[in-house]
Amino acid sequence: MGGLAAALLAMLIAGAAPAAASSHPTYLTFIGNATMANPYVAIANVHGGDPRILGPGSSAMIAPDGALVAVVQTTDSGSGTSLVMYPATGGSGRQLFEFSGFLTLLGWSADSRLLLAFAPSPNDGAGSLLAISAATGARNTIATGVIAGASFSPSSSDDIVYGLAHSPAGASGNLYRSSPTGNEVDQITHNGDSSNPLWGPHGIVFARQHSRGSDEAPISQLWQIQPNGTAEKQLTNIPVGPLVSGLVPIAFSADGEHLLAACEGEDTLASWTVDLSGKTAVAHDLNDLYDGNKPDGISRDGKTVLYSTGFEGAPMSVDTVPWGGGKVTVLSTQGTNPSWNN
């Protein structure tokens, strides 16, 4: 993996926050001044209106119930990060803890109680997968090593699925299921070529590497497996160029029939949709938007894709587009890396 794909892997495995129930307030967050020395977290309505600044931050993720926004801030020394919780309605942030490296947010639990984050070592890419209480900052270590994606169950169990890679050089490894305390762990796959799991209503979708011959890097296609390790099946078989790594799952609609994915590779990043409503999955390239768009989320009803631009020389913005493609709606021309609970 190289080029743009390597630089954006952390953002892609983070995926999107679980969708919120319709009775909850809905918001959009994004990062402003992302390429500057003083990035900030902004919050707006899901159409981009009434934006306001919550506080400084380099990444953010809103809780499914719309009450809190988890924000990663660089410490004053610049050598580490702190995790801060902001009320979505505004007000002072509450620091939960500091970390000597750079924390990566991976997702919220469906009940908005817990946050998944990866705390890597700056030396070798290995580190700790943490389940963090949003109320107290108490942390449970779920796994240690090179974490290749992680996701909470969409149910109230708060169980976790994660990928554990063989080495920082590659994302392949195996998938594991854990309790939110990290005390109960079951291995789900044993093939050594699985990563980036996303737990949906009908099973876990993940990236599995397929060989393309001795002279080419493998390609990642999407597979699905049940949480107990049964009923493994291939979902996609897309053809791509030699410098493209393949698909990584990003977010589900509430019914699990609409899946958003990223197609990544060297100097490549594009949004794909995968229709899971029929007997056979149907993958569609939204690349007519133009290459360099990063998929960030999907609405609960599956009708709207949230994505950001600003890669490969494109103008920076936060946009939406209908699931089937069509007219692009610009939500913000001042931000990137959005999250929502729409």
pLDDT digits (tens, 9 = 90+) for 68-88: 999 999 988 778 999 999 999
Residue 15 and residue 294 in contact, taking contact as beta carbons nearer than 8 Å: no
Phi-psi map region of 60: left, alpha, beta (phi>0 left; psi -120 to 50 alpha): beta
Q: For residue 6, what pLDDT band results from cuts at 50, 70 and 90?
A: very low
Mean pLDDT calculated for residue range 132-137: 97
Q: For residue 288, what pLDDT band results from cuts at 50, 70 and 90?
A: low
Q: How far is CA 312 from CA 191, 267, 315, in A?
A: 34, 7, 9
- How many C-beta atoms lie closer than 10 Å to residue 174's C-beta? 19
Residue 158 and residue 150 in contact, taking contact as beta carbons nearer than 8 Å: no
Whether the pLDDT of residue 293 is over 60: the answer is yes
For the four alpha carbons of 154, 14, 299 and 270, in that order, the dihedral sign comes to: negative
CA 31 to CA 250: how far, in whole Å? 19
Q: For residue 218, what pLDDT band results from cuts at 50, 70 and 90?
A: confident
Class of domain 3-340: mainly beta
- How many C-beta atoms lie closer than 10 Å to residue 189's C-beta? 21
pLDDT given at position 15 = 46
Q: Which of 96-100, 174-178, 266-270 has the lowest mean pLDDT?
A: 266-270
The average confidence (pLDDT) of the chain is 88
- Which residues make Cβ contacts (< 8 Å) with residue 141, sequence separation at least 6? 128, 129, 130, 182
Closest CA relative to residue 31, chosen from 58, 55, 70, 10: 58
Percent of the chain with pLDDT over 90: 70
List the domain boundaries for the chain: 3-340
pLDDT given at position 314 = 65
Whether the pLDDT of residue 318 is over 80: the answer is yes
Backbone angles phi, psi at 201, to 5 degrees: -60, -25
Mean pLDDT calculated for residue range 212-233: 89
Element spanning 92, H or E: none
Q: For residue 279, what pLDDT band results from cuts at 50, 70 and 90?
A: very high
Written as one string, the DSSP assignment of 208-233 is EEE---TTS--EEEEEEE-TTS---E
CA 252 to CA 302: how far, in whole Å? 8
Whether the pLDDT of residue 267 is over 90: the answer is no
Backbone angles phi, psi at 12, to 5 degrees: -70, -40
